[in-house]
Structure 1
């Protein structure tokens, strides 16, 4: 392994002598699966659409598991795939796909979704780049990018969750490698401070840029439907087990209201949640709706958006609900909700992991229509502060700085030997 890193240093030194001038007009975004569903995918597509207004933008999807995209691809954005699993693969590819990744830490959430084959394909893609900007979108890809991106390529890492939720092994690698990136962007101010304290050798540009709110179909909600909405993948972080506990007293007090939960999960996760709902006697009022590509229409037909997460990087569903004038009731979990929701102004925050407090806040909004309208009106104004033009301008400014400040681009530091 040390011999490989020595060779990499030699190759990088040779490339650095002939590296072209930085090109911030060419953007590549490294994403896990562009055709999937989820908040990170939606926000990356949103950003790509903005950048493509004046730049050449390509999303490089590490895997492809669906024939068609769940979300529409913005105009001007190309999508390519490294490991297309919808196509027949040869025996060598099948063998490599069965072997575990050695570049993505096994404690990283996506470790089971990648393989030795995706390692090799990702490194080949990175080493094929000569210039331009590469934006990587999760810790595993940030770590690979920091290690293998060649001189001449400007590297920008993104974090869509929080530093404190990563396993110690992942944090150790983050501390060692993130300093090699040209810039690193967090979604919340709190996470920015955590990275500032954690990284002894931070990137030259370490900054906070939140996600932009996605433009959705549907009108502003009239807030007169007896519907509470929850949105998210059925994973432990989203706390839907806590939501079942919170909804039971709400349903008993207001049996004419329903909670609609939009999202998918692994079959076993969906089965466990459905069983919890049935055991709680909530099958008639807590409804699992599956996924919806038109979540804007569903938000417009709701009156309250509830967030039961144990932690959030930056909750796009909160901003999307606010853009439809829907007030939010949320656990004050790390870190996103508290940076968007101002208690008593555009929503209600309650102590994290406290279903009884969540139930009390839901009942308060259900019983006070005027408060719903007041909070909903303020929510629309809050969402406007996260418009694509506003947030996109901050990305434009960062790219301009990177183009001016890096005569040779990435690779000015020696490779990490981990």
Structure 2
């Protein structure tokens, strides 16, 4: 079967990009004709490995730069694009030329499966895709995380899809309220276990990872860890990732006198080893989809301390078994939960073992057959949905 995956920027970094590339690689390994379509391209090479059997197509090559907005393009952005809502998080990418290229590509297709991977692309597929193409929308975020205009367009147009795939049970309930009879199914992202090495729980390191942006809440994690460091000065916090908040977070580390205790590690090419060498994983996000790096940490038998933020952590973790959940935004509660694990290695080891068992449900050999079966059902015209996909 022919399966096309449409990404905004297949050459970029990010959990959705990595996940979708992994799906395409898996479909190619199963003998299917897989293609990744990158709407824009701003790098020479992809950041994640793409199977040579997967073809890679670019619609708008921007390696020489993005043209500055003229009057007409500014008007296009100010009013909204032809389809892409102004409030879509990536709306700035969709200049008139880029949106026209994406619409033209989608409208030209007449066969196979088209998988789109964010609201902007989903809306283009829903409104301009041909009915001869099996159209599948992937949603990688909570519905509540989107702005009102985006939610409005989702409710109005997503009914055109043959299937809407969400990541968590919470997401499933959200979308079933919008589309009670719609083909909504839960298929979590697959998580590779790396070399499978488990943490010993002995190294006094708390790990965290993600883009250095407001969503990830590192501005709350740092003061929480300051409380931990006062009681356990031998412990360290390592934050992996890059992003626009780096300078502000560095200043916060300095403000709390944590220069010897907290390190902004930048981007790591050995993150799996770094996770296995840590003893606790912290997730301080304000909101999540399905927290992939958290599950990767769990594959290394790391117990998790997490804010119980909208969707994500509570869909994976069981409080008190494989991690500790605390009220969203409660810095003192986050500090207390970290302190509880930092102070008790036996608890870390016990919860870490449970975390590894939970993470096994997200292994590629469990998840990828769900995608293959879904595509086969859709191409055969079989009805999908129901409790089997819950």
TM-score w.r.t. the length of structure 1 is 0.86
Correspondence list, 1:293-308, <5 A: 293-308=269-284
- Which residue among 376, 379, 389 is the counterpart of 1:403? 379
The aligned counterpart of 2:238 is: 260
- Which residue among 57, 61, 66 is the counterpart of 1:80? 57
Report the CA distance between 1:76 and its aligned residue: 2.3
Contact 2:196 2:299 (C-alpha < 8 Å) held by counterparts: no
Aligned partner of residue 206 in structure 2, secondary structure: strand
- CA gap of 1:88–1:43, structure 2 versus 1, over 3 A, is closer
**1:218-272: CA deviations, max 9, x gaps?**
6222221111110111222111111122111011111111111011112xx2212
Correspondence list, 1:65-104, <5 A: 65-87=42-64, 100=77, 101-104=81-84
- Whole-angstrom CA distance in 1 between matches of 2:216 and 2:102: 30
- CA gap of 1:399–1:302, structure 2 versus 1, over 3 A, is same
Report the CA distance between 1:198 and its aligned residue: 2.0
**1:183-208: CA deviations, max 9, x gaps?**
001101111111111236x54x2111
The aligned counterpart of 1:166 is: 146
Aligned partner of residue 52 in structure 1, secondary structure: helix
Contact 1:259 1:286 (C-alpha < 8 Å) held by counterparts: yes
Correspondence list, 1:49-60, <5 A: 49-53=25-29, 54-60=31-37
Contact 1:218 1:296 (C-alpha < 8 Å) held by counterparts: no
- CA gap of 1:403–1:289, structure 2 versus 1, over 3 A, is same
**1:69-97: CA deviations, max 9, x gaps?**
222123522221111111479x8999987
Contact 1:62 1:118 (C-alpha < 8 Å) held by counterparts: yes
**1:138-166: CA deviations, max 9, x gaps?**
11111111001112110000111100111
Contact 2:8 2:39 (C-alpha < 8 Å) held by counterparts: yes
Contact 1:329 1:358 (C-alpha < 8 Å) held by counterparts: yes
**1:12-48: CA deviations, max 9, x gaps?**
xxxxxxxxxxxxx000111111111111111111211
**Does residue 301 of structure 2 align to residue 321 of structure 1?**
no
The aligned counterpart of 1:198 is: 178
State the number of aligned residues.
Answer: 378
The aligned counterpart of 2:264 is: 288
**Does residue 345 of structure 2 align to residue 365 of structure 1?**
no
- Whole-angstrom CA distance in 2 between matches of 1:112 and 1:333: 27
**Does residue 27 of structure 2 align to residue 27 of structure 1?**
no
TM-score w.r.t. the length of structure 2 is 0.92
**Does residue 14 of structure 2 align to residue 38 of structure 1?**
yes
The aligned counterpart of 1:61 is: 38
Contact 1:216 1:295 (C-alpha < 8 Å) held by counterparts: no
Aligned partner of residue 380 in structure 2, secondary structure: helix
Which piece of structure 1 moves more, 144-153 or 278-287?
Answer: 278-287
- Whole-angstrom CA distance in 1 between matches of 2:278 and 2:359: 17
The aligned counterpart of 1:226 is: 204
**1:125-149: CA deviations, max 9, x gaps?**
1122120100000111111110011
**Higher CA-based Rg:** 1
Contact 1:43 1:214 (C-alpha < 8 Å) held by counterparts: no
Of the two structures, which has the highest relative contact order with CA contacts closer than 8 Å and spacing of 6 or more?
1
- CA gap of 1:102–1:325, structure 2 versus 1, over 3 A, is same
CA RMSD after TM alignment: 2.1
